[in-house]
Every structure is written in C-alpha cells, then in structure tokens.
Amino acid sequence: MRTTLSAVAAATLASTLGTSLMAVPAHADGSRTLSGPTTGDPDVFMTYVSCSDVFGQGAAAQSRINLGPYAAPMGRRSLGLVPAGQGSASGPYSTFGSLAGADSSLSVAATGGARGVSYIVTVTSTSPAGTAWVGRSDVDVAAGSWSQVSTASLTYDWKLVDLASRAPVSDAGSATPAAFAASNGDGRGFVVTGFGCDGRPFNLDAIRAGGSTLDFEGISLTTVAGAQKQQATAGEQVALTGRVADAGGRLTGDPLVLESRTPGGAWRPVGPPVLADPDGVSRIAVPVEQTTEFRWQRPESQYADQGWSEPVTVTVAPPAVPQEQPGDQGDQGNQSDQKPGQQADQKAGDQSDQKSGGKADQKAAGADAAGADQAGVPVEAGAEQ
C-alpha cells in the first residue's frame, strides 16, 4: 500500500503555485481484475491514513485475498484487510477532476461490523493560495452483509487548512461534495475512504473510481507433477512429487491430492491431501501394480481456484513367461529314446537267460531223476517228469 503523503505534497506544490491540483488524466471505463492490493495506477491505489487527521501518520494493514465473507459483490473473492490496531483506516485513494461530480464508491463487509472514515482534499477558486479544503466523514457499516459506500452520498465536515503548517484556518460547515462545490466553487482533488478505525478486520470489493471498477479475485497458480521413474515392475513403490507455483515461479506449498487412473479410466483420489515439505514440495510413494496415470489436484483455497497438473504415466511391463532351454529338451528326448531300447534289451536278455537257464535246469533235473531211479531213491508226488 501507498501513503497519501505524496498526494498531499503535490497538492501543496500546486496550491503554492496558485493553481489547482495537478491535472487528472482520463481513465478508460471497464472492470479490472486484481489479485492483490497493487493497482499499478498512480491515480487509483490502496492506501492508509490516520482516522483523526488526513495529514496524520497511519499504519498499514495486512492484506490477503479470500473467499467472501458472505457473497462477494463481484466474482467470488474480495480483498481482506487486517488492521495493525485501532486508529488507522485502509482503503482506496482516487483523484477526481470535479468536486461536484466526485462519486467514487466501494463495497465493504465485516463480520463484526466496521468503522471507517472518508476524506476529501480539494483546491477551489475560493481557497486562498497555500490552502485547501478538507472534508471528513465518519462511516460505519453493520455486520451481516455487504454495504456500498458512495462519496457522493456522504456528508462531510469541511475546513480550510493551511497546507504548509497543516493547521485549520476556518470551518465551512457540513455538506455533500456536490453541495459544497455549489457554494464554495468546484475544483480538482482526491478522496480517500477506508476502514479499520476500530481495529476489526474487513473486506473490500467492487471499488469504482476514475472510470474503472476494481474486482479482487484469486491468483493464478500452476501445478506440476513428477515421477521418480516412468517404468516399474508390478508392486514396485514409485515416488511422486507435486509442486505449486505462482506466476513468478515462487513455490506456494499448497496441499495437494494425488489422483490416479488406469489409461482411459476414471480419476480417483489416492489417500488424503499431501502437505508440502519445507521446500514447498508434496511427496508420496505409492505401489504400482499396473500401468497407471497420476496427477495432482489442487483444492480450492481462499486465494486461488482449484486446478490439476498434467498427468504422468508409470508403465508396468507384463511379467515375463519362462522359456525352456533347447539343450534341456534334447537331453530329455535322449533319455526318453534310450529307455524303450534299454527295456527291450533287458527283456531280450531276460528271455534269453530264462530260456537257456530253463533248458539247462530241465536237463539237470532229468539227469538227477534218472540217477535217483537208478539208485532207488523215491520221487516226490506232483513233480513234473
């Protein structure tokens, strides 16, 4: 955020030279989407100021983009501001070319209500050299919804202020900008409207000033997936990484949800969100049973929409089929060929032995029997002759 001191210095210089405030450039109509408090516009920007004195020193509030609260008047997000304490107001600064037509506005919301202030500094034909008209208006908004605050609708307490000493010269009563211009002359100037005087956090959106409307939305993030290897065996653990970076390449450390699918199938989450390590990288190791595609899903956050990384594929080759060695089959064939031959040889040998042995035994038995008869020895019954 910028301070209003530079604008006050410009007003002092212009008044000292006896002219009105520096010329206000024309702005193109249209909506501008911002992802933070920086506008890049010297005539419309976020600032902070003391709640008691436009020339006093205020304290900057912390800012962030977030969803809500409630339903944002434009888009889905708004600019959240957390004051450093009481006594300072933060909000938009904008220049105008005509006090009579000054009509900058903003939308504000606070779950606990908010107290703010609006200042107008202008130099008109009725303000002596070295002075400026300063108007101040207290602004309170209730909790529960968004409220629109318009400069043209506010009633300001006006004073003529010496710009060198910043001391009040005279009071000029209370009036709206258009009514004051009608009685004290028209002129150029700037307006600052901010909240946080009570120290409570609040949100701003739909700021209209200088012909533009500021809409605060989320930042753009990119998610990238990585795999330790892209080829694995079935059941092998594969390490996967996920990185989230902003437009400048800075890792944001957003939590990620790993999703997987077989090629052509439906995406399914793999476990709970994975938190980033101190290096801002989400890491996980998963077993891979078959060829699988993996990607990281970045859930919606306060400051960014959800998104997905491009998938990475881990290919699992099918298990190899064991093949018989040609030499082993030949040996088995030789063994099978040898067995029938060996059996035939054995049978032939056995038969030969039986035949020759049987004949020899028969001859020997006959000779014994003949000898026995001759010797008078009796033969057992049933014995073959």
pLDDT of 368 strictly over 80: no
Phi, psi of 239 (to 5 degrees): -85, 130
Residue 186 domain flag = yes
Does the pLDDT of residue 347 top 70, yes or no? no
- Are residues 241 and 151 both part of a single domain? no
Does the residue 102 lie in any domain? yes
Q: Is residue 350 part of a domain?
A: no
Q: What confidence tier does 17 reach under pLDDT thresholds 50, 70, 90? A: very low
Check residue 361 and give its pLDDT. 44
pLDDT band at 72 (very low <50, low <70, confident <90, very high): very high
Same domain, 211 and 290: no
Q: β-strand 221-227 against 105-109: which pairing, if any? A: unpaired
Asked if 42 and 74 sit in the same domain, the reply is: yes
Last residue of a domain, one of 216, 249, 272: 216
| pLDDT at 184 (0 to 100) | 96
> Nearest Cα to 203, choosing from 299, 324, 350, 69?
69
Same domain, 202 and 249: no
Domain check: are 27 and 164 in the same one?
Answer: yes
Same-domain status, 254 and 193: no
Lowest mean pLDDT among 16-30, 55-69, 99-113, 294-308: 16-30
- CATH no. for residue 244? 2.60.40.1930
Determine, yes or no, domain membership for 325: no
| pLDDT confidence of residue 30 | 80
Judge whether 324 lies within some domain: no
Among candidates 204, 203, 211, which has minimal Cα distance to 43? 211
Q: In the 3-class helix/strand/coil scheme, how is the chain assigned residue by residue?
A: CEECHHHHHHHHHHHHCCCCCCCCCCCCCEEEEECCCCCCCCCEEEEEEECCCCCCCCCCCEEEEEECCCCCCCCCEEEEEECCCCCEEEEEEEEECCHHHCCCEEEEECCCCEEEEEEEEEEECCCCCCEEEEEEEEEEECCCCCEEEEHHHCCEEEEEEECCCCEEEEEEEEECHHHHHHHHCCEEEEEEEEECCCCCCEEEEEEEECCEEEEECCCCEEEEEEECCCEECCCEEEEEEEEEEECCCCECCCCEEEEEECCCCCCEECCCCECECCCCEEEEEEEECCCEEEEEEECCCCCCCCEECCCEEEEECCCCCCCCCHHHHHHHHHHHHHHHHHHHHHHHHHHHHHHHHHHHHHHHHHHHHHHHHHHCCCCCCCCCC
User: Which position has the higher pLDDT, 41 or 378?
Assistant: 41
- Which of 216, 237, 270 terminates a domain? The answer is 216
Together in a domain, 79 and 210: yes
Q: Note whether residue 385 is domain-resident.
A: no
Claim to verify: residue 51 and residue 86 sit in the same structural domain: yes
At 384, the pLDDT band (50, 70, 90 cuts) reads very low
The answer to whether residues 191 and 287 belong to one domain is no
Give yes or no: residues 173 and 245 share one domain.
no
Percent of the chain with pLDDT over 70: 76
pLDDT at res. 74: 95
Write down the pLDDT at residue 162. 97
Whether residue 341 is contained in a domain is answered as no
Shared-domain flag, residues 180 and 235 = no
| Containing structural domain, residue 283 | 221-316
Number of structural domains the chain divides into: 2
Banded pLDDT at 327 (limits 50, 70, 90): low
Tokens at residue 222, please? Answer: 């990119």
- Using pLDDT thresholds of 50, 70 and 90, give the confidence band for residue 192: very high
Provide mean pLDDT across the span 53-82.
Answer: 94
Boundary of a domain, candidates 186, 201, 216: 216
Residue-wise pLDDT tens digits, 299-310: 999 999 999 999
- pLDDT at position 318: 83
What residue type is assigned to position 208 of the chain?
Answer: R
> pLDDT > 90: what percent of the chain?
72
Q: What is the pTM of this model?
A: 0.72
Are residues 212 and 226 both part of a single domain?
Answer: no
